[in-house]
Amino acid sequence: MAQDSRRHGYAKWSLAGVLVVVFAMVASPALALEENVYRQFMGIDSRRLIWFLAQMHLFFGAFVLGVPLFAVIIEVVGWNNKDPKFDKLAYEFTSLLSVAYATTAALGGLLAFALFTLYPTFMGYMAGIFKDIMFLYALLFFGETFALYMYYYGWNWLKGGGLFSTQAQWFFKALSLIVAACGLAFLLGFIGPEMRVDTKWFILLLYILPLAIGFWIIRDRKSSHIFIGILLNIFGTAIMQLANSWAGFMMSPTGVDGDGAFVGTVWNAFENILATPIAIHRMLGNLAFGGLVAGAYAAVKFIGAKTPEEKAHYDWMGYISNFVAIAALIPLPFAGYYLGREVYSTSAVMGNNMMGGDFSWTFIIQAMLVGSLFVISNYYLWSGMTRIPGAQRYYKFIKYILLALIVSFAIWLTPHNLPLTSLEVGQMAGSQYHPVLKFLGLMPAKNAVVNLIILATFFSFLLYRRGNMVDAVSIRAQGKGAKFTIVIIGAAGIALVAQYAMTMLNMDPAELDLPADRAEYIRTIGYLLVFECVAGVIAIILALMDRGKLGQVLYLSVTAFNVTIFLGVYGFVVMEKASPVLRNVAVSQFLQLISCLVVVAVIDVFLFKRAKSLGEMQWGKMTVRSQYALLLLTFVITMNMGLMGFIRSGLRGDWHIFGVMRDTSEWAYTPSNFVMTQQVGGAVLLFMIGCAFMFWLGGIATKKTED
Amino acid sequence: MNATITRVFPFLLVVLGIYLWIGYSITELTGGGRRTSAAVDVSPEGGEAIYWGKGRCFTCHSVGGQGSAVRGPNHGQFGEKFPLPMGARAAERAKERSEKEGKDFTAVDYLVESLASPGAYVVNGYKNEMAVVYAPPISLSLKEIKAIVAYLMSLGGDLDMPAIDTTPAELTQAFYSKIAAAAEAGGGDPSAGAIVYEDNCSECHTLAEEGGEVGPALDGISAKGLKFISEAILQPTKIQTKGFETYVAVDKDGRQTIGLKTRDEGGEVDITKANGDVITIAKGDIKDIKIDDTKSVMPDDLSEAMTVKDYQDILSFLMLQKPKAAE
C-alpha cells in the first residue's frame, strides 16, 4: 500500500513537469506588453492562495532536497568505516522521503495550475522566456524520480556482492577522469558559456565534482548505490537551480528591454544576477531544514520510545540530524549577507526596502528566530554532554558561552532606532537615536556578534566532542597521513585568507569610488589578514610538533580578536571614513572565521584520534527536555523559512517582474507582519501535520522492513 | 506514536501562538500593510498618498514622529536637527541654493530639483543615495511628482499650486522637462545612463567632442526619437547611419575584412574594424568591396550584456542629448 502511494507520488512529479511544459508551449513573451489579466478561484484572494501553495511546496521540497544531501554522506561514512549502523540510519532518513516526495509533487502541480489559471498574463510571459528551461526542468524530474526509485528500493539489492571486474573499475575511473578534465576545462573557461564566478563554482562544486567522485569510487554494488545517491542529489540540485532562476529573474530580470520584450538569450534569463546567490542560500537552508525535520522525527520517536535500545538509536539519530543542521547553519548567515549585498547591487530601492523599509521589522523577527536557532542548538549540545562520561569537566565553560550568546543575541536584535514620541526624543536631547544603543544597531556591531555566535557554537561543539576524551595523542606518531591532511587542509584555509589579503593590499580605492587617501582603510584589513595567516601557520607548525592544543588556542584567540573585537570596532571607523569598504570587512571576517574553524577542527580530529576514553557515549541517556529543544529547532527554522520567503518575494513590491511587469491587481501591496505571521503560521501548522503523517507512514515502512 | 503526537502538537501551538503575538505586536507598533496608491490628483492629499505608498518615500524619510526611517532627512519638524517642517525648510534651502548658484531658486524649484536631480544639493550629513523616483521600480509620473511637491510644500510652507502645476517657473519647468524626457525613455536615470554610456559607448562614439570616432557622433541624438535610439542599440544592423555603413572587403586570397571605410584615396582603402584596428588594403588586392547591411560594427549583443536598468538609463541619457538649436 505504501509502495503504491509512493509510485503514485512519482507519477505526480512527472505530471507536474509535463503540465509546466504544456503551459510553456502555448505561452509567448509578447504577452508582457498586454494588459495583465487576473482571476480568482471561489472568491479567494489569489495572491494569498499562491503564497500559501508556494510556501507548502517549498517546505516539502526543501525537505526532499535536503535529506538526500546528508543521507548519502552518512551512507558513505558507514561504507567507509564498514559500520552497518550508519547504513541503517541513512536508510531510515531516506524512508522519510517517499511520502514527502509525493506531497511535494502534488503541491507543485497545484501551484502550477493556480499560477497559470489565476495569473495567466504573467505566467504566459514567464513561460515564453523560460520555455527551454521548463522543458529541461520536466526532464530532470524523470532523472530525480528514477534516481530516488533506484536509491530507495535498490538499497538492499545493491548491498553485498564482490568487487566488479578490473576492467569495469578502470572504465568508471576513466569516466571520472574525463568528467574531472571537463571540470578543469570548464573552470578555466575553455568550455561552457561566459558566466558569473559564483555560478561557475556552483556548477563545479555541486555537479561536476560530485559526479567525478561518484564515478571514481565505483568498485562494487554498494559504491554503485552511493553513486545513484550522488545522482539523486545532482538532479535535485539542478531542479532547484532551474526553478530558482525564475524567482531570481522576477527580482533581477536580464535580457529584456524596457517594455518587457525579451531580447536576450535563455542563458541571460537563467543566469540573472540573483539566481545563484539565492541558490547558494537555498542549498544551505535546505540542508539545515532537512536535518532539523529529520531531527524532529528522531525526537518524536525518542519521546515515544519504549526500550533503551530505541531511545539510544533515536538519540543518536537526533544528534546526527542536529550536527548536520549546525554545519549548514554556520555558513548560512554569510550566504545571506552575500545575497543581501547582491540585492543592494541589483537595486538600491529594493535593498533599502529590505533593511530600512517595509521589511526592517520583519528582519528583527528573523534575527529573533535565527538567534534562537543558535541558542537552542547550543542548549541541545550541552544537554548531550550529560550522556558523555567525563564531560562534567567542561560544564564550567557553559555559563560563559551562554553569556556570550545572550549578549550577542541582544546586540543582534537591537534596532538602529525605534519610532519615538516627541517626549522621548526630547529626553534624548533631540536625537532619535539612543546615545549608546544606536551603535549596536549598525552593521559593524551585528557582523561582529554574528561571528561571535558562530565561534561560541563551535566552542560548544569542541567541548562536546572532547567530552569523554583525555590526553591528546601525538600527531607525529600518527604517521604521514595525519601530517599530510593537516598541512593540506591548513594550507588551503590559509591560502583562502592570503588571497584576500593580497586583494586588500593591492586594491585601488577608486574601485570602490573612494579617493586615494582612503587606501589606508583597505590596507589595514590586508595587514590584519596577513597577521591571521601567520597565526594559522604557527598553529599548524605547533600541531605538527605535538603542541596542537596550544596551536588551537592561539589560532582561535587571534581569530576571535580579529573578527569580533578588532574588526567589530574598526568597522565603525570604516563606516565613517570609507563606508564602501565595510563589505570587505565583512568578507574578511567570514574568510578568517571559516578558515580557522576548518583548520582547528582538523587539528582536533587528529589530536583526539583514538585518545584515551573515560567511557563510552551513553546514547539514550538524554533528557526528554532536550528532545523538545530539537522539536523547537524544527518549528523555528520552518517559521523562519516562511518569513524569509515573504521577504524575498515581497521585496519586489508591486512588481511581478521588478522594473518590467507591474502587478496591477488589487493585491499589489505589502501585507503587515501580522498577516505574514498568520499566513506562515498556518502553513507551518499544516506542514507539521503533514510531517506527523509522514513520520507515521515512515514508521510503518521501517517496521515492515524490520519484520 | 499517537500519544507522542498529542504531546508535541500543543507545544507547537504554543510556539505558533508566540509567533503570532510577535507579528501582532510589531504590526501594532509600526502600522499595517503598505498598499500602492491609486491615481491621484496634483494636491497635498494626493502627494501624501504617494509619499506613504507608491513613491516609497517613507522607506528613507519620516515626517516628524510619523514613520521611523532615518536614512534621509526627516521632512517634518523633529528635534534640534530639523526645527522647521519641509515646506518652510525648502524656502530656507532655496535661499542658500540661490547664493551658491547665483540663480534665483524658489522653494518649489528646490524641491523639484531634489526630486529631478537628487544629487545636486545633498543635505549635509547625508549620503548622495536617493533613488531616482521617476525611474523603475518607483516610476512616478510627472503628475505624481507634482503631487509630492505639493504635499511637502503643505508641511509648513506657502503652498502655491499654480507654481507647482500649471505655471511653473523657468527652473522648475526645466526639471519637469528632464523628468518627462526620462519618463518617455522608460523612466531611466540619466545620471546612471551617463556611466553606462562611458563604459559601453564612448570608445566608439563622440559626444561633446569626446570619445572615439568609429561610430557616428551622438550630439543631438534625441531628435531622432526614442524608437530610433532603441533599435540602434538592440538591433544595430537595422539602422545604419549614412557614412557609417559596414563594408565587407574581400581580397584576392579570399580574406574578409569587415568594418567602416574610413579612407579611400590613392590606391588604398582603410577599413576600421570594431576594435579600432585600421587595416589598409591596396585597391589592387581587393577582389570585392561592398556595403553589407546584414552586418554592423556596433556590437549586436548589447541587449544581452545590459540589465533592464542599464538599458532604461542609457535611453534616458541619450534622450537628453538635445540638438544645439533646441537647447
The answer to the question of residue B201 being in a domain is yes
Rounded to whole angstroms, the Cα distance separating A302 from A526 reads 50
Query: What is chain A's alpha carbon radius of gyration, rounded to the nearest angstrom?
Result: 26
Are A596 and A555 in contact by the 8 Å Cβ rule? The answer is yes
Contact A674 B27 (CB under 8 A): yes
Residue A44 is classified by DSSP as B
Mean pLDDT of A627-639: 93
Closest by CA to A460, choosing from A597, A613, A656, is A597
| All three cell numbers of A124 | 504566459
Residues of chain A with pLDDT > 70: what percent? Answer: 89
Q: Are residues B66 and B174 in the same domain?
A: yes
Contact B1 A699 (CB under 8 A): yes
Are A256 and A658 in contact by the 8 Å Cβ rule? The answer is no
Contact B54 A431 (CB under 8 A): no
CATH number of the domain that residue B280 is part of: 2.30.30.100
Q: What is the mean pLDDT of chain B?
A: 80
Contact A258 B69 (CB under 8 A): no
Higher per-residue pLDDT: A187 or A4: A187
Q: Choose the closest CB to B23 out of A256, A674, A696.
A: A674
- Describe the crossing of helices A548-560 and A519-544 by its angle, rounded to 10 degrees: 170
Rounded to whole angstroms, the Cα distance separating A525 from A81 reads 43
DSSP, residue by residue, A167-194: HHHHHHHHHHHHHHHHHHHHHTTSSS--
The answer to the question of residue B158 being in a domain is yes
Q: Choose the closest CB to B56 out of A357, A431, A636.
A: A357
Which amino acid belongs to residue B190? P
Question: A532: distance to nearest CA of chain B, Å?
Answer: 34
Residues of chain A with pLDDT > 90: what percent? Answer: 43
Closest by CA to B188, choosing from B308, B303, B305, B302, is B308
Rounded to whole angstroms, the Cα distance separating A632 from B229 reads 59
**Partners of B270 in the β-ladder:** B263, B280
Are B77 and B162 in contact by the 8 Å Cβ rule? The answer is no
Contact A672 B31 (CB under 8 A): yes
Which residues from A are below 8 Å from B22, CB to CB?
365, 368, 677
The answer to which of A67-71, A99-103, A299-303, A569-573 has the lowest mean pLDDT is A99-103
| All three cell numbers of A219 | 568498485
Q: What is the pLDDT of residues A211-266, one digit of tens each?
A: 999 999 999 899 999 999 999 999 999 999 999 999 999 988 877 665 666 767 78
Contact B26 A364 (CB under 8 A): yes
Which residues from A are below 8 Å from B57, CB to CB?
none
pLDDT for A31:
41
Angle among Cα B273, B279, B283 to the nearest 5 degrees reads 125
CATH number of the domain that residue B133 is part of: 1.10.760.10
Are B298 and B236 in contact by the 8 Å Cβ rule? The answer is yes
Are A100 and A158 in contact by the 8 Å Cβ rule? The answer is no
Closest by CA to A628, choosing from A298, A286, A285, A289, is A298
Which residues from B are below 8 Å from A352, CB to CB?
59-60, 71, 131
The answer to the question of residue B200 being in a domain is yes
Rounded to whole angstroms, the Cα distance separating B63 from A249 reads 35
The answer to the question of residue B63 being in a domain is yes
Nearest CA in chain A to B30: A419
Question: Residue A15 pLDDT > 60, yes or no?
Answer: no
Q: Which residues contact A179 (CB under 8 A, 6 or more apart)?
A: A208, A211, A212, A215
pLDDT for A35:
64
Provide the 3-class DSSP secondary structure of residue B69: coil
pLDDT for A564:
93
Which amino acid belongs to residue A344? Y
Question: Residue A669 pLDDT > 70, yes or no?
Answer: yes
Which residues from A are below 8 Å from B23, CB to CB?
365, 672-678, 681
For residue A469, the tally of other CB atoms under 10 A from its CB is 20
pLDDT for A494:
95
Q: Are residues B207 and B277 in the same domain?
A: no
Q: Are residues B164 and B221 in the same domain?
A: no
**Partners of B248 in the β-ladder:** B258, B290
Displacement of CA A277 from its chain's centroid (Å): 11
Nearest CA in chain B to A627: B8
Q: What is the pLDDT of residues A323-342, one digit of tens each?
A: 888 888 888 878 888 888 88
Nearest CA in chain B to A427: B79
Q: Where are the alpha helices (DSSP H) in chain B?
A: 2-30, 44-51, 86-101, 107-116, 142-154, 161-164, 170-184, 190-200, 225-234, 302-305, 308-319
Which residues from B are below 8 Å from A684, CB to CB?
16
Q: Are residues B64 and B85 in the same domain?
A: yes
Q: Are residues B48 and B176 in the same domain?
A: yes
Which residues from A are below 8 Å from B24, CB to CB?
674, 677
Dihedrals phi, psi of B262, to nearest 5 degrees = -100, -10
Q: Are residues B121 and B173 in the same domain?
A: yes
pTM of the complete model: 0.75
Domain that holds residue B228: 191-236+300-326
Identify the band that residue B226 occupies on the pLDDT scale cut at 50, 70 and 90: low
Closest by CA to A278, choosing from A315, A323, A248, A316, is A248
Question: A513: distance to nearest CA of chain B, Å?
Answer: 13
Higher per-residue pLDDT: A167 or B194: A167
Rounded to whole angstroms, the Cα distance separating B113 from B121 reads 8
Closest by CA to B121, choosing from B150, B100, B135, B136, is B100
The answer to the question of residue B39 being in a domain is no
Interface test with A, best of B54, B68, B71, B229 (most A CBs within 10 A): B68
Provide the 3-class DSSP secondary structure of residue B165: coil
pLDDT for A357:
66
Question: B133: distance to nearest CA of chain A, Å?
Answer: 10
Q: Are residues B259 and B173 in the same domain?
A: no
- Alpha carbon of B199 to those of B190, B195, B262: distances in Å? 14, 6, 24
Which residues from A are below 8 Å from B137, CB to CB?
347, 349-350, 652-653, 655, 658-659
Question: B59: distance to nearest CA of chain A, Å?
Answer: 4
Q: Choose the closest CB to A681 out of B16, B230, B304.
A: B16
Interface test with A, best of B5, B37, B58, B141 (most A CBs within 10 A): B5
Q: Are residues B198 and B276 in the same domain?
A: no
Interface test with B, best of A270, A432, A660, A670 (most B CBs within 10 A): A432
Are B259 and B204 in contact by the 8 Å Cβ rule? The answer is no
Contact A258 B304 (CB under 8 A): no
pLDDT for B110:
94
Are A374 and A453 in contact by the 8 Å Cβ rule? The answer is yes
- Describe the crossing of helices A221-251 and A209-217 by its angle, rounded to 10 degrees: 170
Closest by CA to A705, choosing from A19, A213, A87, A239, is A87
| All three cell numbers of A667 | 493585491
In this structure, are strands B246-251 and B256-265 parallel, antiparallel, or unpaired?
antiparallel
The answer to the question of residue B1 being in a domain is no
Nearest CA in chain B to A195: B305
Q: Are residues B98 and B208 in the same domain?
A: no
Residue whose entry in the numeric block shows the C-alpha cell 509546466: A20
DSSP run (H or E) holding A124: helix A120-153
Number of domains in chain B: 3
Which residues from B are below 8 Å from A576, CB to CB?
none
Which residues from A are below 8 Å from B312, CB to CB?
258, 659
Contact A676 B23 (CB under 8 A): yes
pLDDT for B304:
59
The answer to the question of residue B37 being in a domain is no
Q: Are residues B73 and B156 in the same domain?
A: yes
Q: What is the pLDDT of residues B251-295, one digit of tens each?
A: 888 888 888 787 888 888 888 876 677 888 888 888 888 887 777
The answer to which of A37-46, A305-314, A633-642, B220-229 has the lowest mean pLDDT is B220-229
Q: Choose the closest CB to A257 out of B1, B35, B234.
A: B234
Identify the band that residue A552 occupies on the pLDDT scale cut at 50, 70 and 90: very high
Rounded to whole angstroms, the Cα distance separating A150 from A225 reads 8
Rounded to whole angstroms, the Cα distance separating A291 from A320 reads 8
pLDDT for A30:
39
Contact B131 A349 (CB under 8 A): yes
Provide the 3-class DSSP secondary structure of residue A696: helix
Contact B308 A660 (CB under 8 A): yes
Q: What is the mean pLDDT of chain A?
A: 85
Question: B140: distance to nearest CA of chain A, Å?
Answer: 12
pLDDT for A7:
46
Q: Are residues B126 and B218 in the same domain?
A: no
The answer to the question of residue B231 being in a domain is yes
Closest by CA to B151, choosing from B37, B71, B68, B69, is B37
Which residues from A are below 8 Å from B71, CB to CB?
352, 356
Q: What is the pLDDT of residues B105-156, one digit of tens each?
A: 999 999 999 988 888 888 876 767 787 788 767 778 889 999 999 999 999 9
Q: Are residues B201 and B264 in the same domain?
A: no
DSSP, residue by residue, A394-430: GHHHHHHHHHHHHHHHHHHH--S-----HHHHHHTTT
